[in-house]
Structure 1
Amino acid sequence: MPTHEVLNQPPPLQGYDLFAADRVLAEGLGREGAGWAEERVRTLGRLAGGEALRWGFEANTHPPVLRTHDRYGHRIDEVEFHPAWHELLRLAVGHELHALPWRDPRPGAHVARAALFFVLAQVEAGHGCPISMTYSAIPALRAEPELAAEWQPRFTSTAYDPRFIPAAEKTGALCGMAMTEKQGGSDVRANTTRAVALRGRGPGAEYELTGHKWFCSAPMCDAFLVLAQAEKGLSCFLLPRFLPDGTRNRFHLQRLKDKLGNRSNASSEVEFDRAWARMVGEEGRGVPTIIEMVNHTRLDCVIGSAAAMRQAVAQATHHCAYRAAFGKLLADQPLMRNVLADLALESEAATTAMLRLARAYDQGPADETQRLFARLATAVVKYWVCKRGPMLVAEALECLGGNGYVEESMMPRLYREAPLLSIWEGSGNVMCLDVLRAMARGPEVGEAFFAEVDLARGADRRLDAFVGRVRAELGDFGAVEMRARRVVEHMALALQGSLLVRHGDPAVAEAFLASRLTDDHGLAFGTLPASVDFGRIIERAQPRLAAA
């Protein structure tokens, strides 16, 4: 016999179109040159709001399992994944999240792919790791045309093939990377893994690699871009899981990391015991070769963090629109409206910057100014958006109260995932130092960045004054490394402010300028000035269920 009736609980946020429910994404897709992809993003948005949500939960509830040996003691070095993981990857590969700009390099392809990645990353973040690495490997692989001719068709296939067999026998393949080692971490020049030439030397030549990698994510990928020390210094190599004769390469999985988040994805420690590989790019030029891959994965860190922020805001605004306390809906209570609007504002600024950054990757190959802008803005935006993500998710979780602290709400998973993107592909300090390094090499990079910011010059005195202060900060290089985080934060705010003034909703732009570029704000979310149009900002962010 029922003891009570369940009342005052919001309906599940499911069965909705993640693209149609996101005005900021829909507006930005066309503005940044990918309006032609709207229907394909909409299609994925509908799929993402359906069964894929369940796959996300299942893939994280049942993490991967390492099998180092078979029952007879033979070394196999395999990782078993839950079927939900494979369904997510099949969906991502089928919709070209791993390869769209390389398969269809029309204007706006990187923006379209960013929108697709943004949508599916809201459902589950871990599977995005092999997708991102495969997408990012192509520019680096093209440094060696012979290898690119062999592997690019495999990496850009839209068939997901999880079988652990030689790549030549598969309908599609995925690529990973392994750079960091125990003793160095981000300081990859401290790597000790050695590469010994077998026949010939230099680009495309065969080598044997001996050493280890401290973090190797998605170890069931078919090949990996790795760094190792050759005679002329640190070099880049493509290391497949299988040898040309079809036997397994000497790529040994030592253990899987027990991680805070990203638990659907296997991250491993590996050892190379004379593992066979081929050199990519010039000997001794490993970092410049693989940096092409790293820049694209940094873009994906921005996309992934913006996606987590968007999903957190969707969950918070949805919950508060249905949950009542003390006589009225949470969404109608003034202080909660301040919190929700502040979260929505941060999310909108992140999404807007992410899409603009993706356009720079579209235009960079033919436009030197855009290439330089991408070079600097990637580090600037990666630093700031990925730093804001964990704080935003924590505040959004609190909007759900105790309901947000239980796993079924998705919020704990978002909370655990959020810090990773600030660490992956260069932590906050690494990003800030990269900004300083890029600007120290010549004025062109900084000029390209501020050329974008200055497109809003004269539109608002607060923005003009803020940009002037940022320029002054950069003009004083005294103790600049000590001040690097503040400088890069201000650069990011100047860029976001410029973009919102030019392209954003007027209520959003006004709130951003008033709260981020002046002193009229606090240190926590929910401290917007009372003059803000809270209702309009929240209404833009709240997802709508089909029945609502």
Structure 2
Amino acid sequence: MPATHEVTNQVPVLTGYNVADDPALLAGLHREGAGWAEPELRELGALAGGEQAQEWGRLANENPPKLRTHDRVGHRIDEVEFHPHWHDLMNVAVSHGLHGTPWQDDRPGTHVARAAKFYTWGQVEAGHSCPISMTYAAVPALRHNPELAAVYEPLLAAREYDYGLREPRGKRGLIAGMSMTEKQGGSDVRANTTTARPVADGYVLTGHKWFTSAPMSDLFLTLAQAPGGLSCFLLPRVLPDGTRNRIHLQRLKDKLGNRSNASAEIEYDNAVGWLVGEEGRGVRTIIEMVNMTRLDCVLGSASGLRYGVVRAVQHAEHRNAFGRRLVEQPLMTNVLADLALEAEAATTVAMRLAGATDRPGEAAFRRLGLAVTKYWVCKRAPMHAAEALECLGGNGYIEESGMPRLFRESPLMSIWEGSGNVAALDALRAMAKQPDSVDAFFTEVESAAGADSRLDDAIAAVRKELADFEQIEYRARRIVESLALVLQGSLLVRHAPTAVADAFCASRFGGDWGIAFGTLPPGSDVDAIIERARV
């Protein structure tokens, strides 16, 4: 090999580390009552940081699922074919209880433990998190029909991944999907036209669904127009008599990211479904599922933020330019520290909301806290991914770095379960219809009162904004952003190291912060902040 091909100043592949070695994550795990889960979390983190799992994720992403509508002789089969490592990823997730397990676990902090594992394992490959999230979120909605819940909930919580098209009650474990939106309505599900006609043993559904998450699932929650109005139904892919339900997969979506996961258009052709909840109360029923998947949107974005900043820091530590390592250059340290602040704030608030999920008495706080956080954290993810990618320079633009995959994935959580405007309006709806959520929210953020004058001023300012109802819908994004930031600031002031809390308040509330990442004010302890992003 000629000397011209000598490899120097290249960054080693980041592998063989523990993804769970995340100070903000571990602190949140213990603070929110799930310290007992740390050994399993660390076991999962070691697997997630290993070469084998990273290879699973790469191959599952590079070999997206294929739709097989018919067999070779023309029989309709409606199957989705996945790369074998997709099933490896799913098996690990299910066996570690990232799906419905918390609903069958009476230990305190079980939703926090699950959240931490979901955040950790999602850094291997985000696509397979979708069916895992759907299965987790299906249970509270399903409980609106106690008879169905008694049959299927234990299987949705079972730690066994049993893939294949068979009658659900005969399987060792189940995966659930969701089928809500239609092409004419999108988020406006009340515009749905799919119909549900009562028959002797349930209902038969007819219509087209524009997006169906995880179409290879065993069960689906869906919305359709029954005689009494828009209603929620449970549909199995295989009926109790062993025949296939008339759910036809028309095509798989060709998506920007989330490539390893299948999303489909489907047809219900007199498909059999069972009512969940009451006729006419479908939105209220399925919102139980949405409230859980929105938490996973926050966790998924926070996981991506952590993934990006860890790789940006690792690159800067090993790459030399202009006579110094990148991590020693002031402007780069400003960028890295700003990225690390964003990631730590997202992780901290995600774990706080997971803790509120475990405590029914905090439902009012969770209602508004989750709405504003879903908007803000998920909205920040694409900008964060772009900046983290840029820290790697041209190498970050190359697929082998993993950063393009992160970048393509990053907008999804802001779109899924209500894009930015829907999320902002949901926060306004919470404030209007559940005033106790506003009281609970400010009780939470004002528990840090007096600790940082910049935070105090920001809280006072957003209270003043809420008091001015003129054009409040027009100003919704600005108000929701402010609420999200004061919640993050309050949590960091109370729970994060001084360097983190001070830099966050100085930049996000102090008025000396630019628009791009890397504009932290002078005096920020960037070295201490970056240290928390090293692995």
Question: What SS class does the counterpart of residue 271 from structure 2 fall into?
Answer: strand
User: Over residues 83-114 of structure 1, what are the superposed CA-to-partner deviations in whole Å (9 max), with x where a residue is unaligned?
Assistant: 01000000000000002311213211111110
Residue 338 (structure 2) pairs with residue 346 (structure 1): no
Shift of 1:169: 2.3
1:45 aligns with 2:45: yes
1:149 — aligned with what?
A: 150
CA offsets 1:377-417 (integer angstroms, 9 cap, x no match)? 11110000000111001000000001111111110000000
Structure 1 range deviating more: 423-432 or 439-448 = 439-448
Please give the per-residue CA displacement for 1:305-362, whole angstroms capped at 9, x wherever unaligned: 0000000001000010000011010000010000000000000000000000100000
Letter in 1 for 2:365: F
What SS does the corresponding residue of 2:505 show, helix, strand or coil?
helix
Which shifted more, 160-169 or 397-406? Answer: 160-169
Displacement, 1:442? 4.2
User: 2:158, 2:174 within 8 Å by CA — same for their partners in 1?
Assistant: yes
Written as runs of structure 1 = structure 2, the 5 A alignment for 1:179-198 is 179-198=180-199
Relative to the length of structure 1, the TM-score reads 0.96
Aligned residue among 470, 478, 484 for 2:470:
478
Give the Cα–Cα distance (whole angstroms) in 2 for the partners of residues 91 and 41 of structure 1: 12
Q: Which residue of 1 aligns with 2:35?
A: 35
Counterpart residue identity of residue 35, structure 2: G
Unaligned runs of 5+ in 2: none
Query: 2:509: which partner in 1?
Result: 517
Cα distance change on mapping 1:99 and 1:442 into 2, 3 Å: closer
Equivalence for 2:414: 422
- Residue 168 of structure 1: CA displacement? 2.1
- Which residue number in structure 2 is paired with residue 79 of structure 1? 80
Distance 2:205 2:105 in 1: 35
Does the aligned pair in 1 maintain the 2:101–2:156 contact within 8 Å?
Answer: no
> Which residue number corresponds to residue 285 of structure 2?
289
Distance of 1:71 and 1:168 partners within structure 2: 29
Q: Which of 307, 322, 327 lines up with 1:326 in the alignment? A: 322
Tell me the amino acid that sits aligned with residue 41 of structure 1: L
Q: Secondary structure of the equivalent of 1:397?
A: helix
The amino acid of 2:190's aligned partner reads R
Q: Are 2:247 and 1:251 aligned?
A: yes
Return structure 1 stretches of 4+ with deviation > 4 angstroms.
none
Q: SS state of the match for residue 337, structure 2?
A: helix
The one-letter code of the counterpart of 2:26 is: A
Identity of aligned residues (%): 65
Equivalent in the alignment of 2:169 = 168
Counterpart of 2:370 in structure 1 is 378
What is the 5 A alignment of 1:488-499? 488-499=480-491
> Residue 295 of structure 2 aligns to which amino acid in structure 1?
L
Gaps of 5+ in 1: 200-204, 544-548
Contact 1:262 1:417 survives alignment (8 Å): yes
**3-state SS of paired residue (2:532):** helix
Out of 214, 231, 234, the position equivalent to 1:235 is 231
CA contact (8 A) 2:104 2:154 kept: no
TM-score in terms of structure 2 length: 0.99
Alignment of 1:223 with 2:247, yes or no, is no
Q: Secondary structure at 1:538's aligned position in 2? A: helix
CA contact (8 A) 2:353 2:366 kept: yes
* Residue type of the alignment partner of 2:47: L
* Matches of 1:27 and 1:442, distance apart in 2: 31
Letter matched to residue 354 of structure 1:
A
For 1:153 and 1:78, the matched residues in 2 are separated by: 25
Q: What does residue range 269-284 of structure 1 map to in structure 2 within 5 Å?
A: 269-284=265-280
Letter of the structure 1 residue corresponding to residue 29 of structure 2: L
Name the aligned partner's letter for residue 81 of structure 2. Answer: E
| Alignment-derived partner of residue 546 in structure 1 | none
- Please state whether the residue corresponding to 1:541 is helix, strand or coil: coil
Higher mean C-alpha displacement, 47-56 vs 100-109: 100-109
CA-based RMSD = 0.8
